[in-house]
Amino acid sequence: MEFITGYTLEELKERITGLGLEPYRANQILSWVYKKLTTDFNLMTDLPKKAREDLSKVFSFHPLRLEDRVEAPDATKFLFRTQDGHLVETVLIKERDHLTLCVSSQIGCAVGCTFCATAMDGLIRNLTAAEIVDQFLQVQQVTEERIRNVVFMGMGEPLANYDNVRKASQIMVSPWGLDLSKRRVTISTSGIVSQLKRMARDPFMRELNLAVSINSPRQDLREELMPLTKTNTLKELMEVLKNFPLPRYRRITLEYILIKDVNDSVKEARQLAKLIGPYKKKFKVNLIPYNPDPNLPYERPPLERILSFQRELWDRGVSTFVRFSKGADVFGACGQLRSRRVMLKSHLHETHPEMAR
């Protein structure tokens, strides 16, 4: 079966024409899928009965199956299973006046950040555009309030899955799709220089919000935390970002995960301000206190140290905000719920095979 959510409008027009349907039927189908969240062709009453029967034989709606759901006051984490048996995380974040969905773009990750639970398994595979979009659709179906923001900050490196992330983003912002504002879709990357250059040349992708993980103003420490930076140096990265073409009134977010006694000193705050240099109007810094994981050797800094780091940047004219990671009660950091589920299942196989299903 083919998944309807893997098609753009133009692709679907071409596909259903080959099935003997008129191209305009594609608009009707996608209106049912994205505006009414319908997952049954039989309910698409403006389509002829024969067309509904034919479409049901060719297309399906959900490439993911909901496996688990964990609630907390400020976030809900969803765990999905792919058709080939892998687990994918999605987090619904409850902001003060809106909902934000944090979606995954890969199963596992090849970047290898030492503070990230997702990195422990390495990269298994890319998610398809349909699998990315389905995360949104399934969460929206069980959420009364409309999801307004999407951030590609879940499992995986979005720019390493460029084509599928691009297509999923197109579906999200198109009027015939989920109809989100481009200002409300954020691509978060660890800083793959070649892909950032590609994004800068892409008229569609460069209109989305861009967030880049920095995590240290020093090349040597960044290499320890993020092995990717050995071949994507901080110097190359900042050169690309300083020249990145932004829509008017938009800024690049520099994400900085604060880890106790690793990268949280006032000295490093000064070095970060120096790294940004005269480009203060082009960047803002999000300080993210580390979300501890029992399998990793890092801790969150005390509040006073977090605020001292922020104050040091503000005093040097850098717009800086502290973003406490939501969903700690639901293992909210990337990969935590998945890794916990995988470890639990492995343990059950050893102790109670009949329960490990």
Check residue 156 and give its pLDDT: 96
pTM of the model: 0.90
In 3-state terms, the chain is what percent helix, strand and coil (to 5)? 40, 20, 40
Which part of the chain has CATH 1.10.150.530? 2-60
Please give the structure tokens belonging to residue 238: 């900042």
Burial class (CB in 10 A: 0-12, 13-18, 19+), 74: middle
* Residue 326 pLDDT > 70: no
Tens of pLDDT, residue by residue over 260-277, are: 999 999 999 999 999 999
Q: What is the mean pLDDT of the chain?
A: 91
Contact status, residue 166 vs residue 201, Cβ threshold 8 Å: no
Which part of the chain has CATH 3.20.20.70? 64-347
Tens of pLDDT, residue by residue over 303-324, are: 999 999 999 999 999 999 999 8
Residue 111, SS3 per DSSP? coil
* Residue 330 pLDDT > 60: no
Pick the CATH number of 2-60 from 3.40.50.1100, 3.30.750.210, 1.10.150.530, 3.40.720.10: 1.10.150.530
Check residue 136 and give its pLDDT: 98
Q: What's the mean pLDDT in 169-188?
A: 98
Superfamily name and number for 64-347: Aldolase class I (3.20.20.70)
Report the catalytic residues: 89, 334
Cα–Cα dist 134/128, whole Å: 10
Tens of pLDDT, residue by residue over 95-147, are: 888 999 999 999 999 999 999 887 777 899 999 999 999 999 999 999 999 99
With cut-offs at 50, 70 and 90, classify the pLDDT of residue 328: low
With cut-offs at 50, 70 and 90, classify the pLDDT of residue 327: low
